Amino acid sequence: MRDLAWDGYRNARDLGGLPTPLSDGGMTIFGRIARGPRRELLTATGWQDAHRWGLAAVVDLRCEYEIGVRDGDPAIEPDAMPAVQFVHAPTEDQDDPEFREVCFPILDSPEYWHHNWRILPDLVLVSFEAIAAAPSGVLVHCSAGRDRTGMISALLLANAGVGPAEVAADYAESVRAMAGVPTHSPTGDRQASWGDDEVSGWLLKTMPIVEDIAADVDNAFAMIGASSVLRARLREQLTAAHLRQPNAGSGDIRC
């Protein structure tokens, strides 16, 4: 039920349906936040699928140079796309010297996540502010929908009370979904050539990292500089039966 069958768009999942003691129903709520890869992979039918899901906003975590149609992407007529709010909220500054030195060798691993919010906390904060301010029915995506989207999704889920093992399992689903799949990204992705053996070995190493991050979510948000009001708003998006309208306390979008 969590997998989203949007045409042309593999590795798309609803963040609803995961166990949490913070929701009256005992599960994160469907239809609030989805995760996925680059939106240019959606076909016209896929956009309509997303519209039926309730898509109202897209928060794009990519760098500016990554955005746009590439060879192999479906051709979409402008009138085929539903009216959606687009927010560009990159989590990375790839010109930052420390980020390049520390993170570039491990950009396809959750090892880099805590370095991202340590080195560039303001950028990661803006991403969360954008999600908090978005209308219900928001798609969060990067390129493969695995690493940057994985980082943001892991913290969203942990903040909503989802246990570390379930958070890590959600990350693992994206690794499996994108292994052996070209993402039409301008940068290389070694996982695009992986088979089952490489994936299994990788997850043995990386799932414990994700679990540790999820278990220490309070420290992560403290380093990012997220206020209690922002965290509450993010938590409500996945746990509250009825959402309040975003307000100034949720944080301005600086994109």
Task: Write down the pLDDT at residue 1.
Answer: 80
Q: Which residue has the higher pLDDT, 19 or 255?
A: 19
**Residues of the chain above pLDDT 70, percent:** 95
Tell how far CA 76 is from the center of its chain.
24
Q: Which residue has the higher pLDDT, 184 or 74?
A: 74
Residues 6+ apart with CB under 8 A from 81: 44, 47
Task: Write down the pLDDT at residue 255.
Answer: 33
Domains and CATH numbers, the chain: 13-242 (3.90.190.10)
The bridge status of strand 57-60 relative to strand 85-88 is parallel
Residue 244 has pLDDT above 90, yes or no: no
Strands (DSSP E) along 124-207, which ranges? 138-141
Local confidence band at 242 (pLDDT 50, 70, 90 cut-offs): confident
Phi, psi of 3 (to 5 degrees): -65, 135
Task: Write down the pLDDT at residue 246.
Answer: 58
Tell how far CA 235 is from the center of its chain.
15
Residue range 129-138, pLDDT digits in tens = 999 999 999 9
Residue range 89-102, pLDDT digits in tens = 999 999 999 999 99
Residues 6+ apart with CB under 8 A from 86: 57, 58, 60
Task: Write down the pLDDT at residue 184.
Answer: 61
Residue 124 has pLDDT above 60, yes or no: yes
pTM for the whole structure: 0.94
Task: Write down the pLDDT at residue 249.
Answer: 38
Residue 140 has pLDDT above 90, yes or no: yes
Task: Write down the pLDDT at residue 245.
Answer: 62
Local confidence band at 251 (pLDDT 50, 70, 90 cut-offs): very low
Residue range 152-191, pLDDT digits in tens = 999 999 999 999 999 999 999 999 999 998 766 677 789 9
Residue 127 has pLDDT above 80, yes or no: yes
Residue range 212-233, pLDDT digits in tens = 999 999 999 999 999 999 999 9
